Structure 1
């Protein structure tokens, strides 16, 4: 993700566990895929655009919900969404293309391009930045980030935010997702190419591939068919907090459409733009299954290449299955939501698996007095607290550094959030007052004591 973890903890971006079986039957029909998407939209778990393509042909391409809630403008397949960290795969391609052009080498030290360069950075290479193994701390996780995200900060300025921070670990020894590394790559792309990051992508990648609906987003340009971004605040919808798009830069600044991302997938399948050797590096995972701007791993018996993005008001996912010539794209402009999980389920359906259509859990009403017994702070980790409050007759959760999420009762002490696939079970004493809780998400059970 571009700048923060998604929903309650860390698991909403995780994909389903790998299986070793081959596809069981024929790919799902468009009607069956539509049924799965509608199961999400009916529960406010997805608002946006979806594309499924097989063998270069569209199986499903539709918009669901609204691109602009103020004006009741519907989402369509050519609605433009901010991509967040899906941007990173374009940045990685730009670096490899510069390498093919002889303007840099992927194994070059970062200090070749940064002056003055910290002593601790001398072992760091562009390869480390591309694979999130540099050890450079992620500046969007700094406590100061929320206060500065509305202020313009081109790469040279953003660089100053983490230039003198100690490394999280020796370069190459571990994986830790870092937007800092990709902003630094953007800085290097501009320094080497002599132009802007946007211009280099437009001239060398986007225009040659015919991706006319993809580009670098900013708030000054009047951009036709651009979706507005929204965030859920409890049970209400609000405009996403402003983010100056100079800040995400090469780590998360691009916008696109589902149709343009299909063109992107087709170009990758055809090995356009890059040399064969560059493509090999592009898709070779290093640590934590991460390659250059992509996660590459075996899921459901086939290699899948995927990445997601999260940026103020937007959540995105692209999943590619090259051996099946299959791509699924889900772009959402309401957060939190579940484009990650939806995209993965659509892949499973296209691989011939049988899945249940998402159904709304039964909901019961509890009195405000009963809800008050759950109010408190619950420590899932020493620095990660889940606050539970009551607003009106609604129980609300808010995790450290995240927005408010309403939860709804399935029983006297079991609740669920409609916008994410999770469950919260409260432990109660003889008087019915909560003493702790367990967050159940993506097969994990995470207990937390009440503070």
Structure 2
């Protein structure tokens, strides 16, 4: 562990040497280990925040067909909360505080922090390669750190498990010019039926889809990384990932309405919805977890947020390591650590966040570290306005969130 922390510090020094002083300050703030003590808000302060947020909420979400739940907190206290629309348009069920939404890629924050907690316990090394857990895995020299930081170079199962091949034909256009026409047709390797994490691993071993880059050379955001991390957690704990997360994370933190959806839950699937309210059907890649498939409520997500601030789930030093920017080649204030995106603009401290998108689920989890403020938005009817609504965090920082609209 100590060796990795030293290497991590060297990585940070190298990263800082390439940045301006303004950017250096923001990065150093992001990775400084801190345990937060929250000051209690007065009723007047809470009301002032609620008043300021209310008009922004109407402008940015309610007036733009928002269907979902929102919670904003300062110092761990709720200052704004609302539930608008339907949890299930098919049954006309209204959204309630206890209705869990699919977090989509925000699920990666749970996978990453759970893995780092196992590292704290000495049950895994971040320098371990995938072959330690799965000897037949065909791609060499990919470490746990590479998976956590999306630097493995592996392709995305979302694409290779539904593989298409290009078939080229030629025709004449109206002017008689010969043109090339490309058709995408099934390759013969595409999968059928509901797929599991083990199916992803088996497919990679059997078909060895082409890599995007060598390990730790480039950042490639990739769901495969976190599907494999969930399998590694299962290997270490000797428990199914959904059960381990329930017993060791959600129950411990009091997250009573949070769970991991898996192939065992297909009979209780609650769909998300298209803008026209048509439901998304359960599809063959919808049962893979680790990269997605944590379902939760905004109130449960606040418990997750508080556990991270208070250092009750992982140590502050571990959290600071997760917040280190890991991709040297990215010439931007936006970066990725271990399970977290970050905006390091140097003006008001770091914004640590993750978004999510899967079918009709659009989700936002934004944490203003210096302001100890949090925005959580969970939607189940496809609406990209949910991402731009992050500008509402200006009530805490005095400036808009300019983080990108990545999942």
When normalised by structure 2's length, the TM-score is 0.73
Q: Relative to 1, partners in 2 of residues 1:53 and 1:227: Cα closer, same or farther, differing over 3 Å?
A: farther
* 3-state SS in 1 of match to 2:69: strand
* 3-state SS in 2 of match to 1:191: helix
In the other structure, the counterpart of 1:229 is 272
Structure 2 residue 134 is matched with structure 1 residue 110: no
Q: Relative to 1, partners in 2 of residues 1:223 and 1:206: Cα closer, same or farther, differing over 3 Å?
A: farther
Q: How does 1:188-203 map to 2 (within 5 A)?
A: 188-203=232-247
Could you list the per-position Cα deviations for residues 386-443 of structure 1 after superposition, in whole angstroms to 9, with x for gaps in the alignment?
A: xxxxxxxxxxxxxxxxxxxxxxxxxxxxxxxxxxxxxxxxxxxxxxxxxxxxxxxx99
2:74 & 2:227 partners in 1: Cα distance? Answer: 34
Q: Relative to 1, partners in 2 of residues 1:70 and 1:40: Cα closer, same or farther, differing over 3 Å?
A: farther
1:144 & 1:195 partners in 2: Cα distance? Answer: 28
Structure 2 residue 313 is matched with structure 1 residue 293: no
Structure 2 residue 363 is matched with structure 1 residue 316: yes
In the other structure, the counterpart of 1:337 is 384
Q: How does 1:365-376 map to 2 (within 5 A)?
A: none
Could you list the per-position Cα deviations for residues 88-111 of structure 1 after superposition, in whole angstroms to 9, with x for gaps in the alignment?
A: 111111211211222211111111
* 3-state SS in 1 of match to 2:377: strand
Structure that is richer in helix per residue:
2
Structure 2 residue 176 is matched with structure 1 residue 132: no
Structure that is richer in strand per residue:
1
1:203 & 1:268 partners in 2: Cα distance? Answer: 18
1:277 & 1:42 partners in 2: Cα distance? Answer: 40
Residue 100 (structure 1) aligned to one of 120, 127, 134: 120
2:191 & 2:317 partners in 1: Cα distance? Answer: 38
2:122 & 2:277 partners in 1: Cα distance? Answer: 49
Structure 2 residue 71 is matched with structure 1 residue 51: yes
2:105 & 2:400 partners in 1: Cα distance? Answer: 30
Q: How does 1:232-311 map to 2 (within 5 A)?
A: 232=275, 236-243=276-283, 247-287=287-327, 288=330, 289-299=335-345, 301-311=348-358
How far did residue 150 of structure 1 move?
Answer: 7.6
* 3-state SS in 2 of match to 1:345: helix
* 3-state SS in 2 of match to 1:241: coil
Q: Relative to 1, partners in 2 of residues 1:223 and 1:93: Cα closer, same or farther, differing over 3 Å?
A: farther
* 3-state SS in 2 of match to 1:59: strand
Aligned-residue RMSD, C-alpha: 3.0
| Deviating more after overlay: 314-323 vs 278-287 | 278-287
Contact 1:87–1:253 (8 Å) recurs in 2: yes
How far did residue 227 of structure 1 move?
Answer: 6.0
Q: Relative to 1, partners in 2 of residues 1:174 and 1:327: Cα closer, same or farther, differing over 3 Å?
A: same
Contact 1:136–1:162 (8 Å) recurs in 2: no
In the other structure, the counterpart of 1:387 is none
How far did residue 219 of structure 1 move?
Answer: 7.3
Contact 1:133–1:172 (8 Å) recurs in 2: yes
2:315 & 2:309 partners in 1: Cα distance? Answer: 13
How far did residue 218 of structure 1 move?
Answer: 4.5
Structure 2 residue 209 is matched with structure 1 residue 152: no
How far did residue 63 of structure 1 move?
Answer: 0.5
* 3-state SS in 1 of match to 2:314: coil
In the other structure, the counterpart of 2:33 is none
Unaligned runs of 5+ in 1: 1-17, 356-441, 444-451
1:183 & 1:138 partners in 2: Cα distance? Answer: 10
Could you list the per-position Cα deviations for residues 10-40 of structure 1 after superposition, in whole angstroms to 9, with x for gaps in the alignment?
A: xxxxxxxx9x99xxxx996313312222224
In the other structure, the counterpart of 1:368 is none
* 3-state SS in 1 of match to 2:366: strand
How far did residue 73 of structure 1 move?
Answer: 2.1
Structure with bigger RCO (C-alpha 8 Å, 6+ apart): 2
How far did residue 131 of structure 1 move?
Answer: 0.4
Contact 1:49–1:258 (8 Å) recurs in 2: yes
Q: How does 1:349-364 map to 2 (within 5 A)?
A: 349-353=395-399
1:354 & 1:169 partners in 2: Cα distance? Answer: 35
Residue 170 (structure 1) aligned to one of 202, 210, 214: 214
1:31 & 1:93 partners in 2: Cα distance? Answer: 34
Unaligned runs of 5+ in 2: 1-22, 27-44, 165-185
Contact 1:308–1:318 (8 Å) recurs in 2: yes
Q: Relative to 1, partners in 2 of residues 1:122 and 1:332: Cα closer, same or farther, differing over 3 Å?
A: same
| Deviating more after overlay: 149-158 vs 169-178 | 149-158
Contact 2:348–2:397 (8 Å) recurs in 1: no
Q: Relative to 1, partners in 2 of residues 1:324 and 1:124: Cα closer, same or farther, differing over 3 Å?
A: same
Contact 1:50–1:329 (8 Å) recurs in 2: yes
When normalised by structure 1's length, the TM-score is 0.67
